[in-house]
């Protein structure tokens, strides 16, 4: 995770402020990737203490969340509780054990109840000497404005596909099929956690089959209804984009090297032969519209049906 984050402005800014001895008393790390948020906070905690070297003793302690001057909340695999607020307030009174700084790491802060946020507000406004806070959140909307105004926001944007693919190669050297890594990265929407979940959860192949069933099957409403409650809506739309992109390339006679889904060439050719050229071109626009609708919680099944209805209508216009 450190290799991935090192190129971000957030990492570089915190590193610079620590090096120049002008750390803010509270930072808010915004990262819309629930799975990767805590590992990212772990990395930023190391930056805060200037121990980025993984072989450093303190770095190893932070890695296991056992460094006495760096306290993580809530405890691993636990939800933040009111008792955690009381413990933070009590712990903040005690001086650092090993150094001159004490850091409280809290993630995901967006999940805290308003009452818990309010109880921490005074501490964030006027922390004891040498006490600092590193808050993590997947979104800032549930966080009180008074809290936001007392923290320095460091935002982690979605990563590029090549960066996520490189992360997978580094962290999954024993994967049974590394050839899937680029595709997993492409459907991750820029979030490492999505790529990891698809790889570890074993649902990537299911996404592939569902998407080709939509593109080549005759019962789109049935498939769309099945996918309506899917937790992988964004990944499905991303993979559909790849299918129609490659089908368009094949339709226009582009070299095979241009194809992203080379292992699916046979089915991609069937998609290309099923739809007219203008329909394949429109598919990219249609998928963009579908992604926008998804953000507004539009019924996913309806969204899929409208998408394919519009694609099919453009094929008929061409014919």
Question: Is residue 177 domain-resident?
Answer: no
Question: Is residue 238 domain-resident?
Answer: yes
Question: In the predicted model, is pLDDT for residue 288 greater than 80?
Answer: yes
Contact by Cβ (8 Å): 52, 59: yes
pLDDT for position 231 = 86
Question: Is residue 266 domain-resident?
Answer: yes
Question: Is residue 182 domain-resident?
Answer: no
User: How far apart are the C-alpha atoms of 142 and 197, rounded to whole Å?
Assistant: 25
Residues 56 and 145 in one domain: yes
The domain boundary, picked from 90, 122, 155, lies at 155
Question: Is residue 162 domain-resident?
Answer: no
What average pLDDT does the chain have? 92
Question: In the predicted model, is pLDDT for residue 270 greater than 90?
Answer: yes
* 214: CATH: 1.20.272
Residues 141 and 208 in one domain: no
pLDDT tens-digit series, residues 220-246:
999 999 999 888 898 999 999 999 999
Spatial neighbors of 28 by CB under 8 A, at least 6 apart, are 109, 135, 136, 137, 140, 143, 148, 151, 152, 153, 154
Per-residue confidence at 27, pLDDT binned at 50, 70, 90?
Answer: very high
Question: In the predicted model, is pLDDT for residue 32 greater than 60?
Answer: yes
Residues 236 and 304 in one domain: yes
Residues 141 and 274 in one domain: no
pTM over 0.95: no
Place of tokens 């595709």: 183
pLDDT for position 81 = 87
* 72: CATH: 3.40.50.300
Residues 146 and 227 in one domain: no
Question: In the predicted model, is pLDDT for residue 319 greater than 70?
Answer: no
pLDDT tens-digit series, residues 130-162:
999 999 999 999 999 999 999 999 999 999 999
User: Residue 134: which domain range?
Assistant: 2-155
Per-residue confidence at 58, pLDDT binned at 50, 70, 90?
Answer: very high
Question: In the predicted model, is pLDDT for residue 204 greater than 60?
Answer: yes
The domain boundary, picked from 155, 171, 191, lies at 155
Q: State how many domains the chain has.
A: 2
Residues 223 and 122 in one domain: no
Nearest by Cα to 107 from 35, 170, 172, 179: 35
């Amino acid at each position: 995770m450190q290799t991935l984050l090192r190129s971000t402005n957030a990492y570089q800014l915190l590193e610079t402020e620590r090096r120049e001895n002008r750390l803010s008393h509270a930072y808010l790390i915004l990262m819309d990737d629930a799975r990767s948020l805590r590992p990212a906070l772990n990395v930023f905690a190391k930056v805060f203490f200037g121990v980025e070297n993984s072989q450093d003793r303190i770095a190893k302690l932070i890695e296991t969340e056992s460094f006495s001057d760096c306290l993580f909340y809530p405890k691993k695999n636990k939800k933040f509780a009111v008792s955690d607020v009381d413990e933070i307030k009590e712990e903040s009174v005690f001086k650092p054990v090993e150094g001159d700084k004490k850091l409280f790491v809290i993630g995901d802060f967006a999940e805290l109840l308003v009452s818990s946020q309010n109880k921490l507000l005074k501490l964030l406004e006027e922390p004891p000497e040498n006490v600092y806070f590193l808050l993590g959140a997947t979104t800032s909307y549930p966080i009180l404005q008074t809290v936001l105004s007392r923290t320095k926001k460091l935002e982690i944007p979605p990563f590029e596909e090549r960066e996520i693919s490189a992360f997978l190669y580094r962290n999954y050297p024993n994967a049974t099929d590394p050839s899937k890594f680029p595709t997993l990265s492409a459907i991750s929407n820029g979030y490492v956690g999505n790529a990891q979940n698809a790889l570890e959860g074993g649902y990537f192949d299911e996404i592939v089959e569902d998407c080709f069933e939509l593109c080549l099957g005759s019962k789109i409403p049935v498939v769309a209804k099945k996918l309506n409650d899917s937790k992988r809506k964004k990944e499905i739309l991303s993979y559909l984009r790849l299918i129609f992109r490659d089908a368009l390339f094949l339709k226009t006679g582009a070299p095979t090297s241009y194809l992203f889904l080379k292992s699916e060439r046979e089915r991609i050719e069937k998609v290309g032969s099923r739809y007219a050229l203008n329909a394949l071109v429109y598919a990219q626009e249609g998928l963009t519209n579908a992604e926008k609708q998804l953000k507004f919680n539009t019924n996913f099944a309806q969204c899929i049906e409208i998408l394919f209805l519009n694609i099919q209508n453009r094929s008929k216009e061409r014919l």
